[in-house]
Chains A and B, each alone.
Chain A
Amino acid sequence: MIDFSRVQKELQDCDKDKDASGIRVCPKSDSLTRLTGTIPGPIGTPYEGGTFQIDITIPDGYPFEPPKMQFSTKVWHPNISSQSGAICLDVLKDQWSPALTLKTALVSIQALLSAPEPKDPQDAVVAEQYMKNYQVFVSTARYWTETFAKNSSLDEKVKRLVEMGFGDAQVRTALESSGGDENVALEKLCSG
């Protein structure tokens, strides 16, 4: 009983302003029950510059039941499981309304990236770090963004730095402590 015509319309609608919003929804197959959403990491957050992919499953009762969404890109965030990518967000649960769409749900997820709610955590480890040691949280989140949500992968950076003559382990430590930023890591490596 899935209302495919509505899903179809949503996809068209989303496609229209994909350049302005940066949010995309694409079917994984022809069935329209499995989709992939893409959101850019919000500016001014540790997720900036990253592109995050979200697995979407359309349930039978859609749009009267909420779509199932979870991150397929690894994210370091209090309300997103660092293991499974599961998202703790009210509009995907009891606050879902049939008037919401896949796109508005993705916008809500993007907003969640900007404004974590550590008091209602999905990942207790991340939430604790966020509350107790915010700086460490920020650099870990940034490192994960660099590593998992950017086109240039960690291995490529490691490769480049190793080619400059530094040891592999040394390079990885430097990259991690500089939040994945190649230039900062290079400075660190040079200064000793």
Chain B
Amino acid sequence: MDDYLSGEEDDYYYSSDQESLDGLDNEESNLQLVSSRINTAKVITKESLLAAQREDLRRVMELLSLKEHHARTLLIHYRWDVEKLFAVLVEKGRDSLFSGAGLTVLEHHRRRDSSSVSHSSMMSCDICIEEVPGYQMTRMDCGHCFCNNCWAGHFTVKINEGQSKSIRCMAHKCNAICDEDVVRTLVSKSQPDLAEKFDRFLIESYIEDNKMVKWCPSAPHCGNAIRVEDDELCEVECSCGFQFCFSCSYQAHSPCSCLMLELWRKKCHDESETVNWITVHTKACPKCYKPVEKNGGCNLVTCICGQSFCWLCGEATGKDHNWSSISGHSCGRYQEDKKKQMERAKRDLYRYMHYHNRYKAHMDSSKLEDKLRDTILEKVTISEKRQLQLKDFSWVTNGLHRLFRSRRVLSYSYPFAFYMFGDELFKDEMSSEEREIKQNLFEDQQQQLEANVEKLSKFLEEPFEQFDDDKVMQIRIQVINLSVAVDTLCKKMFECIENDLLGSLQLGIHNISPYRSKGIERASDFYTSRSSKEAVGEICQPSNCGTSGRNSEETSCSSRKRPRKDGSHRNSQTTLLDLNLPAAAMERK
């Protein structure tokens, strides 16, 4: 039998009891590996953007009894941070909260159609310097009154300048933000396109100016944004399938920290390593500064410009020399340092290459396996149609998922190790003995994970769609066991990093997204997640969604949900495989 985990294999084997295997058949039909628990990350699609925004708007509107556009002005100013806004309210009071955001809400709030501006009489507009009938004038909340044509001209320029989010009043030194309804009304009369652009800017502000929301970085862009509940470091999966790190928006990279990844990517892209190669293998001519390669054993080198110099110290010399010395030249102790420096650069280069090669190899495998996904799923389809005792092939899709996840972890464990055990970041953090012990500990785990990942990959590539029952069963057991093994090893690796490698201090700088056994959190649809919060575990019926003191606006929003019902409720309705449980427990369920 194969060793899945050296020494501890008993823990990870499960009883291959035929009955418990059969018990699984009906449950694992869904390919999506989402926990049935409530997700905290939400996908905000073009369609749900408005509703997501409205949730925050409503909190502010209710607390401060404000109209929507006033709440939006406040929220845009406070970058959609409702907590921050409330904190300012408590600390500095309502007036300074409002004035800080350029919001003027008059106590005697004048309704626009009421007549403090006389409709019939002529008034003078200070912008166009024309006499205009009162009904063609508009007074803003700040009290400044100009003609509609001038307002529209002002809005047009500002929207085109990309300043939709904070169009200020036309009066000199008036900081009041213009009422968005007025902007919309006056602009849409003559330029409906521009009014649309204005609305889009306002809506997208919810994503662009909000630290809890980020565009999915997929390319080509899927059009979605992801909202998280708190800005704790996490990795999320968009509904388009792209998995990314919420803090740096690069593809998921744990156990590498964001900082390590940034350094690593720079290192990989830079020519710095090539430059290093040149410093190891060539030396600049002291006369013309061209790089000169050493051609023979002796330390006197000659540049194509004719200049001779000493390879060891780089100093210009005459041509007269023998094997051991150059006449009239001595480098002495300096020579030793130079030698060491060279050796060091060489060593650093080899060290980098060692880690980079492995990182690259796993990245490449990952790409290949991604292509294999379809082939393997095809084999499942074929197998399901065959007259076999075994009808359920969810172990294949689960195994595949494990393979992708652990392959990713494995790839990024190399840049992690490069920095963890290198001089760049942690030189003074540990003694060289300490470092050696830790490195051995980590590399042991890394090797075990590597071995099991490769095995899992190999078994999944077997042509099981052609095998007989017995052989399929054997492969199934192997895949299930290996799936559990790589999961456990990934978990252990992250534990080792957190407990043994990075002290609490460094964990502050090197935030590493935690490993989640059930996979990277898949952001749920915005609507689904909200309703599942209210009725945990229950299937949300559209009629359920409008409960708990929601006003009429909410009802209209829930009716908008209906057409999307089929797609959006998929995640929370289906019973999904909880990968948190070891396979053994799953089998018994």
Of B157, B158, B172, the residue contacting A99 (CB under 8 A) is B172
A100 at the interface (CB under 8 A from B): yes
Bound state CA distance, A95 and B175, in angstroms? 10
Task: Tell me how far the C-beta of B4 lies from the nearest C-beta in chain A, rounded to whole angstroms.
Answer: 66
Task: Tell me how far the C-beta of A39 lies from the nearest C-beta in chain B, rounded to whole angstroms.
Answer: 19
Q: Which residue of B lies closest to A60 (CB)?
A: B157
A6→B128 contact, CB < 8 A: yes
Interface 0/1 of B144-161, CB less than 8 Å to A = 000000100110111000
B378 at the interface (CB under 8 A from A): no
A64→B129 contact, CB < 8 A: no
Interface 0/1 of B123-136, CB less than 8 Å to A = 00011111000000
Interface 0/1 of B97-137, CB less than 8 Å to A = 00000000000000000000000000000111110000000
Q: Which residues, 129 to 173 on A, are CB-close (under 8 Å) to B?
A: none
A64→B172 contact, CB < 8 A: no
Q: Which residues, 62 to 105 on A, are CB-close (under 8 Å) to B?
A: 63-65, 95, 97-100
A100→B172 contact, CB < 8 A: yes
B154→A98 contact, CB < 8 A: yes
Interface 0/1 of A43-71, CB less than 8 Å to B = 00000000000000000010111000000
A5→B128 contact, CB < 8 A: yes
Measured between beta carbons, the chain A residues less than 8 angstroms from B154 are 64, 98
Interface 0/1 of A1-45, CB less than 8 Å to B = 101011001100000000000000000000000000000000000
A64→B157 contact, CB < 8 A: yes
B157→A61 contact, CB < 8 A: yes
B128→A61 contact, CB < 8 A: no
Task: Tell me how far the C-beta of A100 lies from the nearest C-beta in chain B, rounded to whole angstroms.
Answer: 6
B44 at the interface (CB under 8 A from A): no
B171 at the interface (CB under 8 A from A): yes
Of A61, A65, A99, the residue contacting B126 (CB under 8 A) is A99
Of B156, B171, B173, the residue contacting A64 (CB under 8 A) is B156
Measured between beta carbons, the chain B residues less than 8 angstroms from A10 are 129
B540 at the interface (CB under 8 A from A): no
Interface 0/1 of B174-214, CB less than 8 Å to A = 10000000000000000000000000000000000000000
B410 at the interface (CB under 8 A from A): no
Given A5-B128, A6-B129, A63-B127: A97 touches B173 (CB 8 Å cut-off): yes
Measured between beta carbons, the chain B residues less than 8 angstroms from A9 are 129
B127→A98 contact, CB < 8 A: yes
Bound state CA distance, A65 and B150, in angstroms? 12
Of A61, A97, A100, the residue contacting B153 (CB under 8 A) is A61
Bound state CA distance, A1 and B157, in angstroms? 12
Q: Which residue of B lies closest to A9 (CB)?
A: B129
A98→B129 contact, CB < 8 A: no
Given A61-B157, A64-B157: A99 touches B170 (CB 8 Å cut-off): yes
Given A64-B153, A64-B157: A99 touches B128 (CB 8 Å cut-off): no
Bound state CA distance, A100 and B126, in angstroms? 9
Of A3, A5, A65, A95, the residue contacting B157 (CB under 8 A) is A65
Given A61-B157, A64-B153, A64-B156: A3 touches B171 (CB 8 Å cut-off): no
A99→B153 contact, CB < 8 A: no
Bound state CA distance, A6 and B157, in angstroms? 17
A99→B129 contact, CB < 8 A: no
Measured between beta carbons, the chain A residues less than 8 angstroms from B130 are 5
Measured between beta carbons, the chain A residues less than 8 angstroms from B156 are 61, 64
Q: Which residue of A lies closest to B154 (CB)?
A: A64
Bound state CA distance, A76 and B128, in angstroms? 36
Measured between beta carbons, the chain A residues less than 8 angstroms from B172 are 97, 99-100
Measured between beta carbons, the chain B residues less than 8 angstroms from A65 are 157
Bound state CA distance, A76 and B174, in angstroms? 33
Task: Tell me how far the C-beta of A15 lies from the nearest C-beta in chain B, rounded to whole angstroms.
Answer: 15
Given A61-B153, A64-B154, A64-B156: A97 touches B171 (CB 8 Å cut-off): yes
Q: Which residue of A lies closest to B128 (CB)?
A: A6
Measured between beta carbons, the chain B residues less than 8 angstroms from A95 are 173
Given A64-B153, A65-B157: A97 touches B170 (CB 8 Å cut-off): yes
Q: Which residue of A lies closest to B130 (CB)?
A: A5
Bound state CA distance, A38 and B582, in angstroms? 85
A3→B128 contact, CB < 8 A: yes
Bound state CA distance, A9 and B316, in angstroms? 79
Bound state CA distance, A9 and B130, in angstroms? 10
Central interface residue in B127, B173, B174, by most chain A CB within 10 Å: B127
Q: Which residue of B lies closest to A91 (CB)?
A: B172
Bound state CA distance, A5 and B127, in angstroms? 11
Q: Which residue of A lies closest to B156 (CB)?
A: A64
Measured between beta carbons, the chain A residues less than 8 angstroms from B157 are 61, 64-65
Bound state CA distance, A61 and B160, in angstroms? 11
Bound state CA distance, A65 and B163, in angstroms? 13
Central interface residue in A1, A6, A9, A10, by most chain B CB within 10 Å: A6
Measured between beta carbons, the chain A residues less than 8 angstroms from B153 are 1, 3, 61, 64, 98
Bound state CA distance, A95 and B171, in angstroms? 11
Central interface residue in B126, B153, B156, by most chain A CB within 10 Å: B153
Q: Which residue of A lies closest to B150 (CB)?
A: A98
Bound state CA distance, A48 and B154, in angstroms? 38
Which 3 pairs of residues, A with B, have the shortest CB-CB distance?
A64-B157, A97-B172, A98-B170
**Which A residues have a C-beta under 8 Å from some C-beta of B?**
1, 3, 5-6, 9-10, 61, 63-65, 95, 97-100
Q: What are 24 A-to-B residue pairs whose CB atoms are below 8 Å? A: A1-B153, A3-B153, A5-B128, A6-B127, A6-B128, A6-B129, A9-B129, A10-B129, A61-B153, A64-B154, A64-B156, A64-B158, A65-B157, A97-B171, A97-B172, A98-B127, A98-B153, A98-B170, A99-B126, A99-B127, A99-B170, A99-B171, A99-B172, A100-B172
Seed contacts A9-B129, A98-B153; 17 additional CB < 8 Å A-B pairs: A5-B130, A6-B127, A6-B128, A6-B129, A63-B127, A64-B153, A95-B173, A97-B170, A97-B171, A97-B173, A98-B150, A98-B154, A99-B126, A99-B127, A99-B170, A99-B172, A100-B172
**Which B residues have a C-beta under 8 Å from some C-beta of A?**
126-130, 150, 153-154, 156-158, 170-174
